Structure 1
Amino acid sequence: MTEETPETDFDAEEWREQLSAHRAEKDDFFADHPQSPIPPKERDDFESLDYFDPDADYRVTATVEVHDQPEPVEMEVSDGPPQRYLRVATLRFELGEGDDAESYELAGYRQQEDDDGLFVLFRDKTTGQQTYRDGRYMEFETEELADGAEMVLDFNLAYSPFCAYSETFACPLPPEENWLDAEVRAGEQFDR
């Protein structure tokens, strides 16, 4: 996903169409691509991933705090030794409306300081219930992170890691700092 700047002319219908197209493309990849995480013997029975209904309330604006000297973080992995990431940013945002809005933050990571992407992995109150037991991921392409800038976090794009579908993959697990005390009923569901 490309980093987006908050826009004042958000078109909900166009967003739903783009999200639907994104999901259909991903379902096609999972069904047919040789690198699909769905085991080959299960692909004939695969129809589509499960998703929460699109909900623009989970498309939020986050304020970016850049860490000029990123701290290394050792992340536990579903299988194998921990992996080293750098905590390069903190993303602050609100979920909910009006008086019910609550403030949250998520750390954004990179494996190398000069990477372009921003990796955000998280758990929430749906984890292990409606979503994968080890959390979900979001990825953003960022040309340059600027302190105090705003970016769109669209939890409708949150996805289960490949290790949810096959034990041949090893996936980093969200560190405790990225455990949200909220239900994020958006993105991929998981019922395996």
Structure 2
Amino acid sequence: MTDPEATDTDDTEEYERWVSEIKQMRADKDEFFTDHPQSPIQPEVRDDFEGLAYFDPKPAFRVPTRVRVYGNPDPIELEVTAGQPIRYLRRFIFEFELRDERQQLAGYQQEDEDTDTIFIPFRDKTTGQQTYHRGRYMETEPDEELTNGDTVTLDFNLAYNPFCAYSDTFACPLPPEENWLDVAVPAGERTPPEAIVE
């Protein structure tokens, strides 16, 4: 995916379509937070809600990764914001280059849970500065079963805050130290607006 200033019309149209899709997803999420009964925002502060804060979409943070798959995945207990740790299986490692540095993130699936969704909690150098101080989440759901050497695109522009960023009534898994990136990732959701945090 290229920059909008690219001269190739097809590349420009692809970029614009991608940005449009992200903006629509963000608008849908704002609507959910405003109106849905399961919104993490308390009803008494919804009148002050004017939308979540995001970084502008940037193709540089949509990165291809090389996958390592664990046939016999290691269990790991992820600490949570409140309550007992939750047991996950470390099923995947995603290796990639970001800002000219080699990085990797582990992908987890909850033990005894039948799901194709891969959970990727992470922290980076924006955590506690421009983004939620306990870290953010990404998810991916590949169309086919992953094998070693497969390529999966991770889009940090889709990184989002856990519900506990908005209310202490939620218990959210915390990114383990192995998923603390040593680079800044100014993409995706920013620190929640103070007016909507319980």
Same fold (TM over 0.5): yes
Q: Does residue 57 in structure 1 map to residue 60 in structure 2?
A: yes
Deviations 1:42-75 (A, max 9, x none): 1111010000011010000001100111100001
What is aligned with 2:127?
127
TM-score (norm 1): 0.91
Using the alignment, how far apart are the partners of 1:15 and 1:146 within structure 2? 27
The AA in structure 1 aligned to 2:174 is L
Q: Secondary structure at the match of 1:156?
A: helix
| Residue identity opposite 2:134 in structure 1 | D
Aligned residues: 180
Matched with 2:110 is 111
Could you give the per-residue CA deviations for residues 72-99 of structure 1, whole angstroms, max 9, x where no partner exists?
A: 0001000001000000000001112xxx
Residue in structure 2 matched with residue 74 of structure 1 by the alignment = 77
Q: How far apart, CA to CA, are the structure 2 residues paired with 1:190 and 1:32?
A: 21
1:182 equivalent in alignment to 2:183: yes
1:145 Cα deviation from its structure 2 partner: 1.5
1:112 shift after superposition:
3.4
Following TM superposition, where does structure 1 have runs of at least 4 consecutive aligned residues deviating by more than 6 angstroms?
Answer: none
One-letter amino acid of the counterpart of residue 102, structure 2 = S
1:31 matched to 2:62? The reply is no
Whole-angstrom distance in 2 between the partners of 1:115 and 1:144: 12
Report SS of the residue matched to 1:16: helix
Q: Distance in 2 between matches of 1:131 and 1:23?
A: 16
Q: Identity percentage over the alignment?
A: 59
* TM-score for both structures, normalised by structure 2: 0.88
**What's the Cα RMSD here?**
1.2
**Which structure 2 residues correspond to residues 78-117 of structure 1 after superposition, within 5 A?**
78-96=81-99, 101-112=100-111, 114-117=114-117
Asked if residue 40 in structure 1 is aligned to residue 7 in structure 2, the reply is no
Paired residue secondary structure (1:160)? coil
1:120 maps to amino acid: I
| CA distance in 1: counterparts of 2:43 and 2:97, whole angstroms | 41
Q: Cα offset for 1:115?
A: 2.0
Long gaps (5+) in structure 2: 1-9
1:13 Cα deviation (Å)? 1.1
CA shift digits 1:16-46 (9 cap, x unpaired): 0100001000111011111000111111110
Q: Which residue of 1 aligns with 2:6?
A: none
- SS, match of residue 24 in structure 2: helix
Give 1:147's aligned residue. Answer: 148
CA distance in 2, matches of 1:82, 1:140: 23
Greater Cα radius of gyration, structure 1 or 2: 2
Amino acid at match of 1:136: R
